[in-house]
Amino acid sequence: FSFHGVFIVVSTKYSAVGSSPPRSTRHTPIQTAAASTRTDPPGRPAATMEEELHALLRDLDALKQLPDPASIDRMRDRVVKMMGPSGAAAAATRSKIKDMSAEVVDSNPYSRLMALQRMGIVDNYERIRDYSVAIVGVGGVGSVAAEMLTRCGIGRLLLYDYDTVELANMNRLFFRPDQVGMTKTDAAVQTLSEINPDVVLESYSLNITTVKGFETFLGSLKARSSNGRSTGVDLVLSCVDNYEARMVVNQACNELRQTWMESGVSEDAVSGHIQLLVPGETACFACAPPLVVASGVDERTLKRDGVCAASLPTTMGVVAGLLVQNSLKYLLKFGQVSPYLGYNSLKDFFPTMEMRPNPQCSNPACLERQKEYMQSKPARDAAAKAKMEAEASAAIEYPVHMDNEWNISVLDDSDTATSSVQRAATDILPEGLVRELPDEDTYVEPPAAPASCGAIDDDLEELQRQLDALNSS
Ligand SMILES: [Zn+2]
């Protein structure tokens, strides 16, 4: 019984004679993903399905004699009907796209992203396809972050969660009521592969806080992508909701020298944070747990039996947005990557700070990484100096900070000057484009109000003279 195979054949034939030929005839993992979760449509006896398939085969044979687009459309409709609602959705998705194009046509899913290059924001947007990101925890923040990265065309996405979709999750974004009961990773793969079949998706339905789960987690972070796009992963995003899981991600990343970003939303749903963690260079999660810093509450007391934490799609969406924005800046090397960014929704307050590693950290791997980081300082300084000299000879105007590989700076008085200088470098817009709002340095003061009523009186006298002149002529 090869229902799956028949669909692929029909789909290929249909595409080949359709009005818009596909860019690629390769088939996507959508069918695989959908097939693994699909069951026979309810209420349809197997015999009927078999009869349908035989009829389809007869039609296919007939096509060999005389290709007829109308009969192909009819066959496709029948196949989609047989697949049921979720299958029909999968059948409506596009095929893979080999190269990202900047071509401005309605059918190009990447035109708006590639425009970031033309706007001078990103040097080479297509590099996003070389990157692999692991998302640990596919809940209110992780699922939305996964969707954002998928829509941005990330090369490979690894998803980890042990939970299933529940109706109680529907106050958040991403998951749908018809996915209730599916594992969160399977449901995510189903949706994400439909949205963008170019992304290589790997789903791990496991608990990283178990011994076996941790081993699989470590192994998967090290593993090479099947399509040879990259070795290991470029970034790990922690989107888990408890202290223990964060400590496990911290342990894995410290061991692997893996840069990661942590995210969290408070129990009362009105504040959150993101944090960049570079083993040895910044504070690790064991050096200073961020939620403790942010709210003054030890998170270990947050997950109590029978106590239901509140959650809002808004706060989770904001935190996911901040997290993926920081990830895009880190991966595609634009703007400033935030070392820590808090969000207090009640006051719309976004605190930032830098956290150095704690020399008394309780995590041995963190201490090792700190030692390595200190030992590599001379080499790093030399590289930074060489880079600065190269840039100076290339006559680039803005300042480069010696001890600051990501151009991170703590907010102070000189910050305004720095940012306006840096903005000037990217200020040049392509021909034909203008900014809607004036820049702060080109803002023109409105003309001062008249100093006295005397000026107005003078104007009135002048007006009266002009009117008199008109009347007398
Ligand atoms: Zn540490």
Average pLDDT (324-345) is 97
Distance 371 CA to ligand 1 centre (A): 12
Distance 252 CA to ligand 1 centre (A): 12
Distance 358 CA to ligand 1 centre (A): 6
Distance 408 CA to ligand 1 centre (A): 20
CA dist 78 and 52 (Å) reads 8
Residue 394 confidence (pLDDT): 76
Q: Do 140 and 311 meet the contact criterion of CB atoms below 8 Å apart? A: yes
Asked if the model's pLDDT at residue 179 lies above 80, the reply is yes
Asked if the model's pLDDT at residue 449 lies above 70, the reply is no
Asked if the model's pLDDT at residue 170 lies above 80, the reply is yes
Residue pLDDT, tens place only, 346-363: 999 999 999 999 999 999
The pLDDT confidence band at residue 235, using thresholds 50, 70 and 90, is very high
Residue 44 in tokens: 């349809």
Q: DSSP secondary-structure letter at 431?
A: T
Residue 417 confidence (pLDDT): 44
Average pLDDT (454-458) is 56
Asked if the model's pLDDT at residue 399 lies above 90, the reply is no
Contacts of residue 206, Cβ cutoff 8 Å, sequence gap at least 6: 160, 162, 212, 213, 216, 217
Q: Do 160 and 145 meet the contact criterion of CB atoms below 8 Å apart? A: no
pTM: 0.65
Q: Where are the domains of the chain?
A: 3-91, 131-368
Q: DSSP secondary-structure letter at 96?
A: P
Asked if the model's pLDDT at residue 444 lies above 90, the reply is no
Contacts of residue 148, Cβ cutoff 8 Å, sequence gap at least 6: 320, 321, 324
Residue 285 confidence (pLDDT): 93
Distance 329 CA to ligand 1 centre (A): 24
Distance 311 CA to ligand 1 centre (A): 29
CA distances (Å), origin 76, targets 16, 50, 73, 91, 247: 13, 16, 5, 9, 50
Residue pLDDT, tens place only, 266-301: 989 999 999 999 999 999 999 976 554 444 444 455
Distance 217 CA to ligand 1 centre (A): 20
Q: Which of 103, 129, 98, 130 is nearest to 114 (CA)?
A: 103
Residue pLDDT, tens place only, 28-42: 333 333 333 334 444
CA dist 42 and 137 (Å) reads 32
The pLDDT confidence band at residue 450, using thresholds 50, 70 and 90, is very low
Residue pLDDT, tens place only, 364-384: 999 999 999 999 989 989 998
CA dist 458 and 473 (Å) reads 23
Residue 226 confidence (pLDDT): 59
CA distances (Å), origin 326, targets 104, 149, 444: 27, 12, 33
State the CB neighbour count (10 A cutoff) for residue 291. 25
Average pLDDT (244-252) is 95
Asked if the model's pLDDT at residue 83 lies above 90, the reply is no
CATH number for the domain whose boundaries are 131-368: 3.40.50.720
Q: Do 187 and 141 meet the contact criterion of CB atoms below 8 Å apart? A: no
Residue 67 in tokens: 């290709």
User: Residues whose CB is under 5 A from ligand 1 (ion)?
Assistant: 284, 286-287, 361, 363, 366
* Active-site residue set: 308
What percentage of the chain carries pLDDT values higher than 70? Answer: 64
